[in-house]
Chains A and B, each alone.
Chain A
């Protein structure tokens, strides 16, 4: 069964066509990579699926429910999570406060003005548990902006996971990372996304082929091919357009 589906999805920016008739199907529990050259429309696809934009044409279905045009907050509450290509954390808040924000979101504590957050031991414990799992305990009280690049990216990825989403969309999680950092990040992604459905945009082919169960190739806003990694590697059109020989 498909957790996420797009039907005949099209979008343009002032006449510049960025997506045409995209039919994406993401199965429950799989790790699905979306690859393609710059400008292929990958991030736009993410932005539409996660509610940043409303598409010009077509529909988005999440767990069988039509969610076209729903806002980010509604989709997150339905079980979607997202990380960004450009790190998007609360830079002036500490690592702990960043994670705690996510925990508050997951628990639906949105308008509590009557209790001090410091007097909520469950929330604190849960946030500290997350920090421990992602190896950021030592950086607990450091502002996010002072984290090293790799750790800041790890925070970004885990922030998307704090709301306990069923489906996670990761936009180039390893962008700009060194070899070692990439290895650590892939390990982290593997660990944090266990039992979840993942859609990942990625340029690093080693990461793609080591993580993904299935791959969709996007080219000029159209789906060129979808299939298992071996099928994609062997696909003539994909080689010509993107992977090369």
Chain B
């Protein structure tokens, strides 16, 4: 069988599992999977900045939160708003915040980038707490209607059924992850990685570094907004602590570190591992953070490139051992 056929079959099998998942595993694990998907997209959008462009953000939650609040506010105040426009308004809110910050953020990097994001992230958190009339303060915004997925005159699918929402979420999140993956394979993706490795050289090949960063920034903001918007609809609640807290900003850092910062799929794997760990530990103790924190420390100490980095290193070692002398390939 050719490599292509194998991939094709794997794709079909994965799709079949995804389709059958709700009936196979029941409501509880269906909802766990949606949570995993939301955080996977959120972490991938974060890693577009860190892993691909070399920009570490400590305030990525503000885009996640903007997506969530945007959708929640839209559904609360606009009567009869359909599902997809509600999602789009959440993404638009995240993008608007991105457009607002980009002119400053694309001109800085390193520690300044990380700390300014921490600062703006905290500002958004405090604003969400203080602007009670709009955001509901500590209570957040909840109980807004979740419209059905409808094509007028053709079909209308109720989104309050967990399985139905699962299909909607998986489609939206899956498409977003695919779109971001595709971007990393385009010429623009090459330039992005160039900015990470050597921004000065990128400029001396005729590219405008700030403009390139701005596009990445908006992609990251918008896709974090998608994740946040789906999160708000999934929970039927958005709150400062749930969507804008500094822990929400640190979550993708952790997921990316565990999975592997050097790879597109690292953050997704990290989200899966983290999901399983917190599921298992929560059966025995409420101190889930204690366990996941300890694991993070171990990963940083012994596998700084995450699980995927560990896998690559192991494969390179195996190759070096079994390859004829002098024919060892360098690790990539």
**Of A18-26, A61-69, A93-101, A204-212, which binds chain B?**
A93-101
Per-position contact with A for B178-189: 1 when CB-CB < 8 Å, else 0?
Answer: 000011011111
B204: A residues at CB distance < 8 A: 50, 72-73, 76, 81-82, 88, 160
A73 engages B206 (CB within 8 Å): yes
Distance, CA A102 to CA B204, complexed state (A): 9
A81: B residues at CB distance < 8 A: 204
B188 engages A111 (CB within 8 Å): yes
Distance, CA A143 to CA B197, complexed state (A): 12
Interface centre among B190, B200, B205, B212 (most CB of A within 10 A): B205
**Of A30-38, A116-124, A233-241, which binds chain B?**
A116-124
B186 engages A115 (CB within 8 Å): yes
A77: B residues at CB distance < 8 A: 206
A112 engages B198 (CB within 8 Å): no
B194 CB contact (under 8 Å) in A73, A101, A146: A101
Per-position contact with B for A37-71: 1 when CB-CB < 8 Å, else 0?
Answer: 00000000000001000000000000000000001
Distance, CA A160 to CA B189, complexed state (A): 21
B208 engages A73 (CB within 8 Å): yes
For this complex, into which size category does the number of interface residues on chain B fall? Answer: 20 to 34
CB distance from A67 to the nearest CB of B (A): 14
Known: A112-B188, A114-B186. A163 touches B198 (CB 8 A): no
Residue B325 at the chain A interface, CB threshold 8 Å: no
Residue B326 at the chain A interface, CB threshold 8 Å: no
B186 engages A92 (CB within 8 Å): no
Residue B311 at the chain A interface, CB threshold 8 Å: no
Select from chain A the residue with minimum beta-carbon distance to B185.
A116
A159: B residues at CB distance < 8 A: 201, 205
A142 CB contact (under 8 Å) in B194, B202, B208, B330: B330
Distance, CA A106 to CA B205, complexed state (A): 7
Select from chain A the residue with minimum beta-carbon distance to B197.
A90
Known: A72-B204, A82-B204, A88-B200. A143 touches B330 (CB 8 A): yes
Tell me which residues from 162 to 183 in chain B have a Cβ below 8 Å from any Cβ of chain A.
182-183
Per-position contact with B for A149-167: 1 when CB-CB < 8 Å, else 0?
Answer: 0000000000110110000
Known: A97-B190, A109-B187. A146 touches B330 (CB 8 A): yes
Known: A76-B204, A106-B206, A146-B330. A93 touches B185 (CB 8 A): no
Interface size, chain A (Cβ < 8 Å): 42
Distance, CA A110 to CA B182, complexed state (A): 16
B185 engages A117 (CB within 8 Å): yes
B186 engages A105 (CB within 8 Å): no
CB distance from B91 to the nearest CB of A (A): 17
Residue A1 at the chain B interface, CB threshold 8 Å: no
Residue B87 at the chain A interface, CB threshold 8 Å: no
B212: A residues at CB distance < 8 A: 110
Select from chain A the residue with minimum beta-carbon distance to B219.
A113
A118 CB contact (under 8 Å) in B185, B188, B206, B207: B185
Residue B332 at the chain A interface, CB threshold 8 Å: yes
Residue A6 at the chain B interface, CB threshold 8 Å: no
Residue B95 at the chain A interface, CB threshold 8 Å: no
Residue B106 at the chain A interface, CB threshold 8 Å: no
Residue B224 at the chain A interface, CB threshold 8 Å: no
Residue A91 at the chain B interface, CB threshold 8 Å: yes
Residue B193 at the chain A interface, CB threshold 8 Å: yes
B187 engages A112 (CB within 8 Å): yes
Select from chain B the residue with minimum beta-carbon distance to A107.
B187
Known: A73-B206, A105-B206, A111-B215. A117 touches B197 (CB 8 A): no
A82: B residues at CB distance < 8 A: 204
A114: B residues at CB distance < 8 A: 186
A117: B residues at CB distance < 8 A: 185-187, 189-190
Residue A89 at the chain B interface, CB threshold 8 Å: yes
CB distance from B216 to the nearest CB of A (A): 10
CB distance from B157 to the nearest CB of A (A): 31
Distance, CA A118 to CA B185, complexed state (A): 8
Q: Which positions in B face A, CB cutoff 8 Å?
A: 182-183, 185-191, 193-194, 197-198, 200-209, 211-212, 215, 330, 332
Q: Name 17 interchain pairs, CB-CB below 8 A, sorted by A.
A: A76-B203, A77-B206, A81-B204, A82-B204, A88-B201, A97-B190, A101-B190, A101-B201, A105-B206, A106-B206, A110-B188, A110-B211, A113-B183, A113-B215, A117-B187, A143-B332, A160-B204
Other A-B pairs beyond A73-B209, A90-B197, A113-B182, 6, CB < 8 Å? A91-B197, A93-B194, A105-B205, A108-B206, A160-B204, A162-B205
